[in-house]
A = this chain, B = another copy of it.
Amino acid sequence: MPQFLDYSDADFEARFTALLTAKREDSPDVDAVVADIIADVRARGDDAVIELTERFDRVALTPDTLRISPEEVDAAIAEVNTGDREALELAAARIRAYHARQMPEDAQWTDDVGATLGWRWTPVSAAGLYVPGGLASYPSSVLMNAIPAKVAGVGRLAITVPTPDGVLNPLVLLAAQIAGVDEIYRIGGAQAIAALAYGTETIAPVDKITGPGNAFVAAAKRRVFGKVGIDMIAGPSEILVIADGDNDPDWIALDLLSQAEHDESAQSLLITTDAGFGQAVAQAVEARLQTLERRAIAGASWRDFGAIITVPSLDVAAALSDRIAPEHLELCVDDPQALSAQITHAGAIFLGQWTPEAIGDYIGGPNHVLPTARSPRFSSGLSVMDFVKRTTLAQMTPDALRAIGPGAERLATSESLEAHGLSVTARLRKLNG
């Protein structure tokens, strides 16, 4: 059973705060191990990667087989059935269409003093995408990471995916092919991150690395940050459902369980204006937990971190939601657009009872890589913006420099940066002859 909270209870504030600050993840401290692995890959390149892959994944590779050849990819993909292929292609098309609208625009204008100002966006030249192996090897994540990169115009997109004991998911390869990935390497762990960041004899370095991974991968990404760009370090998944009493308890139960089944550390919360409905959802969750394949995981998450919160109004629900700042927010209410306008901090909002969060995980179009652990207060989900960068532009004319140069001289002097001021003074002297 999850926690039950009622906004009108005397201890509500204390219990709600405890819910917000509950430590859901105990990351093992693997930083020292990861530092050694990165140093090894930097020093010995392919040899180190091959040895580490043999040790951790029990796969014997050579420099020639680090990369999965196009022929191997084709052979593996041939096994995929038509239904799965069509579903992936539909998802890819929808994700591509959504992200194509995110491309930012260049700008250039001339202002009142005659200065030409602006900016230009350019894509990252090369990006690497980490794909976990084994159970968490999700083709949908390949689409969600690779498509924004390709929409942005990334020229070279490399994937690393470990193949423990040689096992490889053909759907991951198909997703990579559909998304336009250029290279696929059968390596994983910190050694894959190091190879992408620093390069080896066989693997050219990239400029940006994205994608989820275990504690070793996360620690390696933190360590190579600065040498290359990285995406956020994601924590366990979360969902908040705000629902009035006019919903099917089983639907809401399944939405809550679809986060809970990811991970024992996941968190599923329901805020409802109808205490009886909250009880009905709790019963529906228990009923589904009897048969759910991943009931051990989902049950632990729901028991340890789940909560059902009764509130007097949707206004209060919105205010609590902003304190939670959820990764996923479902609004199962009469006028979800109106309620949505009251929300400031959320990674993704799913509006209305016909929009289960799972649609967003796969096929809606928006990205499923979203900020967790209250970070929607200050960060956004993965997008085309993660694979482009802005160069600002400024061009003065003699008249523009005459107009604003003296201000720069003055400020440089006040900051005791003499050469800054003189670089303007020398030009103004010429102009003023």
Residues of A within 8 A of B (CB): 83-84, 86-88, 90-91, 94, 97-98, 101, 104, 107, 109, 111, 115-117, 119-120, 122, 124-125, 135, 138-140, 171, 207-208, 226, 228-229, 233, 248, 250-251, 254-255, 257-258, 260-262, 288, 292-294, 298, 336-337, 340, 343-367, 370-371, 373, 375-381, 383, 385, 389-398, 400-401, 404-408, 410-412, 414-424, 426-427, 430
A344 CA / B364 CA spacing, docked (Å) = 33
Query: Are the CB atoms of B394 and A355 closer together than 8 Å?
Result: yes
Q: Chain B residues with Cβ under 8 A from A391's Cβ?
A: 343, 345-349, 376, 380
A107 CA / B99 CA spacing, docked (Å) = 12
Q: Chain B residues with Cβ under 8 A from A344's Cβ?
A: 122, 125
Query: Are the CB atoms of A426 and B248 closer together than 8 Å?
Result: yes
A117 CA / B366 CA spacing, docked (Å) = 8
Q: Chain B residues with Cβ under 8 A from A257's Cβ?
A: 419, 423
Query: Are the CB atoms of A426 and B261 closer together than 8 Å?
Result: no
A56 to chain B, nearest CB (A): 23
Query: Are the CB atoms of B346 and A426 closer together than 8 Å?
Result: no
A213 to chain B, nearest CB (A): 16
A135 CA / B86 CA spacing, docked (Å) = 63
Query: Are the CB atoms of B349 and A171 closer together than 8 Å?
Result: no
Q: Chain B residues with Cβ under 8 A from A349's Cβ?
A: 391-394
Query: Are the CB atoms of A258 and B378 closer together than 8 Å?
Result: no
Query: Are the CB atoms of B379 and A229 closer together than 8 Å?
Result: yes
A398 CA / B261 CA spacing, docked (Å) = 26
Q: Given A344-B125, A364-B117, A407-B87, verify A394-B351 contact (CB < 8 Å).
A: yes
Query: Are the CB atoms of A426 and B250 closer together than 8 Å?
Result: yes
Residue of B nearest to A346 (CB): B391
Query: Are the CB atoms of A359 and B404 closer together than 8 Å?
Result: yes
A142 to chain B, nearest CB (A): 11
Identify 11 new A-B residue pairs, CB closer than 8 A, beyond the known A346-B391, A348-B394. Answer: A87-B406, A101-B109, A116-B351, A207-B377, A208-B378, A251-B427, A294-B418, A352-B396, A354-B398, A356-B427, A380-B391
A389 CA / B232 CA spacing, docked (Å) = 13
A315 CA / B155 CA spacing, docked (Å) = 20
A352 CA / B393 CA spacing, docked (Å) = 11
Q: Chain B residues with Cβ under 8 A from A90's Cβ?
A: 404, 407
Query: Are the CB atoms of A419 and B361 closer together than 8 Å?
Result: no
Q: Chain B residues with Cβ under 8 A from A404's Cβ?
A: 90, 94, 359, 363-364
Q: Given A348-B391, A421-B358, verify A407-B208 contact (CB < 8 Å).
A: no
A332 to chain B, nearest CB (A): 11
A423 CA / B336 CA spacing, docked (Å) = 19
Query: Are the CB atoms of A389 and B378 closer together than 8 Å?
Result: yes
Query: Are the CB atoms of B115 and A364 closer together than 8 Å?
Result: yes
Query: Are the CB atoms of A419 and B261 closer together than 8 Å?
Result: yes
Q: Given A111-B365, A358-B421, A407-B363, verify A352-B395 contact (CB < 8 Å).
A: yes
Q: Chain B residues with Cβ under 8 A from A88's Cβ?
A: 411
A253 CA / B208 CA spacing, docked (Å) = 35
